[in-house]
Structure 1
Amino acid sequence: MTAMADEQTRLMTKVARLYHTHGMRQTDIASRLQISQSRVSRLLTQAEESGIVRTVVAVPPHIFGDLEDAVEQRYPVREVHVIDVVSQDSAELTRDLAHAMGTLLGDVTFDAPTIGFTSWSQTLRVLVDDLAPLRTKTTHVVEMLGDLGPPSLQHDAAYSTRQLATLADAQAVFLRTPGVVASAEMRELMVSRDVYAQQALAMLDHIDLALVGIGAAEVDPALTAGDNFFTHEQFKQMRDRGAVGEVCLHFLDADGNAIDGELDELVIGVTREQLKSARRRWAVAGGERKHAAIRAALAGGYVDTLVTDTVTAEYLVS
């Protein structure tokens, strides 16, 4: 960065702090810094565009209290948080749900020494991007699944894990193995030769807060079939056996019952038993594509706190 760019950044930051933190009017800022008011206005706009200033919309809690109560009474959950999203479009839905979950996570005050993180979840990665430093007492953030998808996605997932650990003032624990392998023998071989994978998997025995990923019983749009992931044929095989979705790549039927099979032996990550024994299990999910999977995750006891949209919540109680 050039000296001129440095000076521009410093001025943007100073103007933004005077305006947003100290509550000064633009005219007063202009007088104090001996610049024009129009330049103050431009600097404030540039500060937002460059990310120096981030606008946060605080969602009032429990504005859909009756709907939240209805879901909580129907399923074995601790809390449900329902929001009215701008759109059911996938990208906008993801952003709104991630923001709501981030607000909830930012308010957490209970101790969570070990946070289990589903780093391949797009919604959870968006959440981390806008998350403020956490107030939890956390020592480790552990990835709950190995790598899924191409190297670019693996890089994004690792970056989100490290970022979440930094925000929690904790140590990031990575699971640098494929998330899905070709055979149980390959899984055993890879884990047995990787001491770091063994350590990460062992830490999943003691999760205090699991940030859970919920998927439909089909190839995720962000992933490619067979790319460290299940194939179309494997998903069809599980649908034929009654699967409506998966939680951390473990398949469930419509009532939340586990569908056991050889595919469980291909996953390098958190087990069903480890997930269900976690002290808290939070999920953020919505949209029609995942309706049946979310219902299964709630019914099966894999989630005890859910952030979702009004359409999904109405489906859950219908």
Structure 2
Amino acid sequence: MAPSRDTASLRAMTRVAHLYHRRGLVQTEIAAEMGLSQAGVSRLLTAAADRGIVRTIVVPPAGFHSDLEQAIEQRFGLREVHVVAAGALTGERLTEALARALVPVLQLTPIDRRSIGLTSWSRTLQSAVATLPDFPRATARRVVELLGDVGRPTLQHRAALTTERFAQATGGEPVFLRAPGVVATARMRDALLDGDPHARRALASMDDIDLVLTGIGDARATRPLVAGENFFTDDQFAAARAQGAVGEIGLRFLNIDGEPVASDLDELVLGMELAQLRRVPRRIAVAGGTGKHAAILAAARGRWIDVLVTDDGTARSLLDPVSLDTSERRI
């Protein structure tokens, strides 16, 4: 079910109030930060006072974790953190909760004339895009798939539909990467690109991305993806972990300190490189769950992302990462 308009409004009021009253930004600075007009910021501040969100301090509505979000923002230098009260949710229910939380974040993100990169095979992003209303008067430039096809043909088709739907919602041109996400050899990758101008265009478009929407992986094959199906094999994932990998973004591996884990596997991937990701002005990640704590910590430490949507358990682990550091460095 799509988040209500009131939920999105509450989120916007709380964010504006936080920036104005706690961080001390003036209205023009908030307008630039959130892609709003100054008049829009003023209306949200007035509405926040009317709803009781602002008194002498910012009082978030029930279910919001502003103090936890602010602590993570300050610890890792992130632009925004949005924490979902997930409790004991796991699996698909956690995926759906994260997707619902992502939708109002996307609705408040400036997209006009932006080129948007999308990891359309992420289940959470697929769920969010499926419930995302059209952006009014949307004028995005393009929506670029950031990784080639992975998994079975049915999963590849679902990813393509997600890209098409997001492009429709944002008014951008879809740029598909209809090529295997992982190939057997670097020579095969070169031969494939030599004969496919559309794949070359998609990869070239990644040099000019303004906004990235991505998941974060735990350096393992996660269902419904199966190792070896246009995807790394179990042995390849194990080799990456043996080199210190604890997570990945777009199948580019990171160690516990957020540093790239370089290997020959990089040459087998058709997708965005970490150097390209680093240059993107805004990088929104959505990920959560116990199995991804180390991966999300790595992404935050390395500042590969600047906006994070996650669950409350993961958020608390980011503020107390000692056990993760110790266990991952022993691997």
**TM-score strictly above 0.5:** yes
Shift of 1:126: 0.2
Alignment partner of 1:268: what SS?
A: coil
Shift of 1:274: 0.9
Give aligned pairs, total.
266
Shift of 1:304: 0.5
Q: 2:134 maps to which residue?
A: 133
1:114 aligns with 2:115: yes
Q: 1:88 maps to which residue?
A: 89
Q: 2:285 maps to which residue?
A: 283
Spell out, residue by residue over 1:253-305, the C-alpha distance to the aligned partner (whole angstroms, 9 max, x if none): 00100000100000001111111111110001110011100110111111100
* Separation of aligned partners in 1, 2:117 and 2:294: 24
Q: 1:48 maps to which residue?
A: none
Q: 1:58 maps to which residue?
A: 7
Task: Identify the range of structure 1 (129-138 vs 160-169) with the bigger mean alpha-carbon deviation.
Answer: 129-138
Cα distance 1:146–1:110, how it changes in 2: closer, same or farther (>3 A)?
closer
Match among 144, 156, 175 for residue 142 of structure 1: 144
Shift of 1:139: 1.5
Aligned residue identity for 2:115: T
Contact 2:87 2:313 in 1 (8 A): no
Contact 1:112 1:208 in 2 (8 A): no
Contact 2:111 2:140 in 1 (8 A): no
Alignment partner of 2:7: what SS?
A: coil
Cα distance 1:132–1:93, how it changes in 2: closer, same or farther (>3 A)?
same
Q: 2:98 maps to which residue?
A: 97
Shift of 1:71: 0.7
* Separation of aligned partners in 1, 2:155 and 2:111: 31
Aligned residue identity for 1:125: Q
Q: 2:159 maps to which residue?
A: 157
* Separation of aligned partners in 2, 1:107 and 1:223: 31
Aligned residue identity for 1:251: F
* Separation of aligned partners in 2, 1:219 and 1:294: 16
Q: 2:272 maps to which residue?
A: 270
Larger-gyration structure (1/2): 1
Alignment partner of 2:69: what SS?
A: helix
- Alignment gaps of 5+ in structure 1: 1-50
Aligned residue identity for 2:69: E
Cα distance 1:55–1:173, how it changes in 2: closer, same or farther (>3 A)?
closer
Q: 1:236 maps to which residue?
A: 238
- Alignment gaps of 5+ in structure 2: 12-59, 321-331
Alignment partner of 2:77: what SS?
A: coil
Alignment partner of 2:308: what SS?
A: strand
Q: 2:168 maps to which residue?
A: 166
* Separation of aligned partners in 1, 2:224 and 2:154: 11
Cα distance 1:311–1:112, how it changes in 2: closer, same or farther (>3 A)?
farther
Query: Superposition pairs for residues 13-52 of structure 1, below 5 Å?
Result: none
Aligned residue identity for 1:255: D
1:213 aligns with 2:215: yes
Aligned residue identity for 1:58: T
Contact 2:278 2:304 in 1 (8 A): yes
* Separation of aligned partners in 2, 1:257 and 1:218: 18
1:187 aligns with 2:189: yes
Shift of 1:111: 3.1
Spell out, residue by residue over 1:164-210, the C-alpha distance to the aligned partner (whole angstroms, 9 max, x if none): 00001111110000000001111111112110011111111011110
Alignment partner of 2:217: what SS?
A: strand
Alignment partner of 1:307: what SS?
A: strand
Cα distance 1:177–1:87, how it changes in 2: closer, same or farther (>3 A)?
same
Query: Superposition pairs for residues 241-256 of structure 1, below 5 Å?
Result: 241-256=243-258
Aligned residue identity for 2:195: R
Query: Superposition pairs for residues 299-314 of structure 1, below 5 Å?
Result: 299-314=301-316
Shift of 1:236: 0.7
- % of aligned pairs identical? 45
* Separation of aligned partners in 2, 1:177 and 1:165: 19
Could you say what the CA RMSD is over the residues aligned between the two structures, in angstroms?
A: 1.6
TM-score of the pair, normalised by structure 2: 0.77
Shift of 1:218: 1.1
